[in-house]
Chains A and B, each alone.
Chain A
Amino acid sequence: AQSVAQPEDQVNVAEGNPLTVKCTYSVSGNPYLFWYVQYPNRGLQFLLKYITGDNLVKGSYGFEAEFNKSQTSFHLKKPSALVSDSALYFCAVRDSGTYKYIFGTGTRLKVLA
C-alpha cells in the first residue's frame, strides 16, 4: 500500500539557520514526489516536485528537496530559514500509474526570530 510519513508534527528553527522537514514514502512503482505549503486560511501552494532526473530538486522561495531512492526519502530543505517560512508543510507521493496524491500528516514549521 502507498503511504507517506512525516515523522515530526512540528519543527522549530531559528531564523537564519538551515531547516529540514522530513518525509519518507512507500509506493509500489516509480514515485512522483511533491511538497506543498499551507499558510493560515489559504490553500495548499505547490513548492516543488521530483519526477525523474537529478535527485536534488529546487523549488519556490529558496526551498529544495533531495530524492533518496535507497532510503525512500524526500526531505525538504532550506539553507537559511525566514520567519515568513512558518507554515504547515505537506509531503505527497503519487504512484506513477495513478493521478491521486497520498499525503503525509503535515509538519508545522515554526521559525523563531
Chain B
Amino acid sequence: EAGVTQFPSHSVIEKGQTVTLRCDPISGHDNLYWYRRVMGKEIKFLLHFVKESKQDESGMPNNRFLAERTGGTYSTLKVQPAELEDSGVYFCASSQWTLYNEQFFGPGTRLTVL
C-alpha cells in the first residue's frame, strides 16, 4: 500500500511569490489533514477535509492560504503571496473515517521564503 506522498519535497521562493503544495493521501482515506511545523516548534493543525469538503479550517493562519481537494482525492495548499513567517515544514496526513484511526503522515514539504 502506497503511503501519503507530498510534492515538492523542498521549495525556496521569494517573499511575495506564490507556492502550491500537493498531497496525495492513501487510497480510500476520506480524511485529509494539513499541518505545519515552524522553526522547530510544535506541529500545528491547519485544516481537515472529509472527501472534498472542509470539515475544520480553524488552524488556517489567514486568507493568504487556500486549500482545495477537488474530487476528494489529492489536495493542494496554495500560499499567495508568501511571507517570511510562512517558512516551515508542511505535513499532510490522511486517515480512515473513524475517530479511532491514527493518521498517516507524508514526508512533508520544506518551504523557505526568502
Interface residues of A (CB under 8 A from B): 4, 32, 34, 36, 41-46, 49, 51, 90, 92, 94, 96, 98-106
Residue of B nearest to A99 (CB): B48
Query: Which residues on the A side are within 8 Å of B95 (C-beta)?
Result: 99
- CA of A44 to CA of B36, assembled, Å: 12
Instruction: Tell me whether B25 is interfacial, beta carbon within 8 Å.
Output: no
| Chain B count of residues within 8 A CB distance of the other chain | 28
Q: List 12 A-B contacts (CB under 8 A).
A: A43-B105, A43-B106, A43-B107, A49-B102, A99-B95, A100-B45, A100-B48, A100-B59, A101-B45, A103-B35, A103-B43, A106-B43
Instruction: Tell me whether B70 is interfacial, beta carbon within 8 Å.
Output: no
Shortest 8 CB-CB contacts between residues of A and residues of B:
A44-B105, A103-B43, A43-B107, A43-B105, A100-B45, A105-B42, A46-B102, A103-B42
Query: Which residues on the B side are within 8 Å of A42 (C-beta)?
Result: 107
Query: Which residues on the A side are within 8 Å of B41 (C-beta)?
Result: 105
Query: Which residues on the A side are within 8 Å of B31 (C-beta)?
Result: 99
